[in-house]
Structure formats: C-alpha cells, structure tokens
A = this chain, B = another copy of it.
Amino acid sequence: MKVKLEDVAKRAGVSPTTVSRVLNNRGYISDKTRQKVEQAIEDLNYYPNDIARSLFKKRTNFIGLVLPTINNPFFSELALYIENICSEMGYKVILCNSLLQMDKEKAYARMLIGHQVDGIIVCTYNRGVEAYKQPKLPIVAIDHYLSPTIPVVGSDNYTGGKMAVQHLIDRGCKSIIHINGPVELETPTQMRRKAYEDLVENPITYELIDLFDEEYEAVSIRRILKKHPEADGIFASDDLIAATCLKVANELNIRVPEQLKIVGYDGTATIKRLLPHLTTIQQPIEEIAKTSVSKLMNLIENPDCNETLETFLPIELLINETT
C-alpha cells in the first residue's frame, strides 16, 4: 500500500488536517508540530497524491498539447519551449500526436477533457472537433483558426511569404515555383501561398498531398523540376520540403544557387544546425510558445477575460547559400 496522508498523521501523532496544513503552508502551525510532521514525511517517504488533490480542487495543472507530429523540427522545438515554460509554472504537458487524422484528434480532445486538463494548446489543422467547443474550456490555437472565439497565436505568414518571394525576385529569379502542402488543410502555409500568388505574375503552385510520405515527396518534386527546366527559384512552404528540393536538385545536377535558388520556411534550430546553408524565413518559435502559454494561463486564471484573438509575431529572413 502506498503511504498516505493519514499514515503521516499517525506517525507524527497529529491529525490529517495538520499534515495537510504543513504540506500547503496554510494557517498557523507551531514549529514543533511542523518539524514532527516533516520528519514523518521523510521517514515514510511520503508523496502527496495529486490526483486526490486535483479532485478536490477541480484543478489538475495539466495542459494538453495537440500537434500533428512531434517528429518535425518545428513542432518539437515549439513543444520544448512550451513544456519548459509550463513546467516552470507548475503545469504538466500531455503530448498528443494527431497525425492530422480527424478521428485521432477527436479522441484526444475527449481524453483531455475527461482528464480535466486546465487548458489545451492546439497546433493542428482540423476544424470541427466538437469537443473543443466545451464552454469554458481554455484553448489557444497556434497558427490557425479553430473557431471564432479561440485566440490564435502565430507568425505573420503573409509577410513571411512576401519576404521569401521578394528575396528570390531581388536575386534575379524570373520563374518562381511554389510548393506547398494540401490546400484543404487550413494551415498557415496557405497564407504563404497567397503571398506568393499575389507577388508573382504567373504563379505555379504545386501541392504535395501526403506530408508524411517523403518518398512520394521526392518523386513529386523530381517530376516538378523536370517539368519546369525554366524554373530558377523555388519557394517551399517549409524547410523540410526545401530540403527535399535541395536533394532532388542535387540528384538532377541542377546547381544551387547558380541555376536554381531555394527558400524554405521555419528556420528551426535543427534546420540551422543540419542545413546551415539553407535560406529560409525564421519563425519566432520561442516567442510563439511564450505567447501561447501566457494567453492560456490568462484564460485559465481569468475565464471571462477578453484575450486578444489574434497575435502575429514578426518573422525574419535568414539569407544563406541557397539563394
């Protein structure tokens, strides 16, 4: 049997109430009693049961974090910051990889609500998860609109897209291709696409249907590059796609940046480390994490507060050797 508060009380020769008081530093306790209790806690190697505490307090200090897959440098960096900040504040993070599947995301939402999480941070792109519509459930979305009442935190994707494309133009590109994920997902990359289409005269946008199949991705990009020998610039909607473009260009003996210039998007620490020569748009990932958590905490502490519904943090163009 696990040691419980009552055992500590018995051992210290006091009542459960008293033990609870020293545990929570509440009310008046004589030094002597406090010491007896602390001694008993140590002797018995007692760990307070947070489940029982949560049940009573109706506060679990749990946060749900729902993202497409943690195995993506952007999300893993975001998750690292979010978890770090939360743990500093005494919150614990439940990790959920939705794999962009609606049924999984719904199941996660139910699970999180059942577990009485104090709030949820969602960075995945499925609308219509009814469970998120629980009244009074604090939610913050990263980089996409979940519903009209849920605050969104993200970076300025439209400006980011413009900066990327303008940079290619400035570098002399005449024929710029854009490669993006599926349109039907309401991802932030759609704003990057829009910027591209607004800036370029004859936009040529390609969609990669399955973002999780890199084999397919490489094949598609090979096809695209073969079909467009005139292309001298690529704006990829994220760095992983840019990396594949780089690889394919290499295989096809297309010299980068001489014949073809490539700009990615995200600028994670991992990319900067593994692909330091990639020109990219860097998102303020740490700021996004901080802002989301602080908004969520605000919503939790103060349920009726009117959080600003949209926050777009500035991005930065990192010029390297691929342009």
Listed in ascending order, the chain A residues whose CB lies under 8 Å from chain B are 45, 47-52, 54-55, 60, 65, 69-73, 76-77, 79-80, 83-84, 87, 92-97, 99, 104, 107-108, 110-111, 113-116, 134, 214, 240, 243-244, 247, 269-271, 273-276
Contacts and interface: CB of A to CB of B under 8 A. Distances in A.
A97 B71 contact: no
A283 to B, nearest CB: 14
A95 B71 contact: no
Contacts of A65: 95
A111 B92 contact: yes
Contacts of A96: 83, 87
B240 A274 contact: yes
5 contacts: A69-B80, A70-B79, A71-B80, A95-B95, A274-B274
Contact of A50 (B47, B50, B116): B116
Nearest to A115: B50
Contacts of A97: 80, 83-84, 87
A70 B55 contact: no
**How many copies of this protein are present in the complex?**
2
A145 to B, nearest CB: 23
Nearest to A136: B2
A214 B51 CA distance: 40
Contacts of A104: 87
Contacts of A107: 87
Q: Which 6 A-B pairs have the closest CB atoms?
A: A76-B76, A71-B80, A95-B95, A50-B114, A274-B274, A50-B115
Contacts of A84: 97, 99
Contacts of A54: 51
Contact of A114 (B48, B116, B273): B48
B70 A76 contact: yes
Nearest to A79: B70
A269 B84 CA distance: 25
Contact of A55 (B55, B83, B115): B55
Contacts of A79: 70-71, 95
A84 B73 CA distance: 18
Contacts of A70: 70, 76, 79-80, 83
Nearest to A131: B47
A270 B83 contact: no
B83 A47 contact: no
Given A51-B116, A247-B276, 14 more contacts: A47-B110, A47-B113, A50-B115, A51-B54, A51-B60, A55-B55, A70-B70, A71-B73, A73-B270, A84-B97, A87-B96, A87-B107, A243-B274, A270-B270
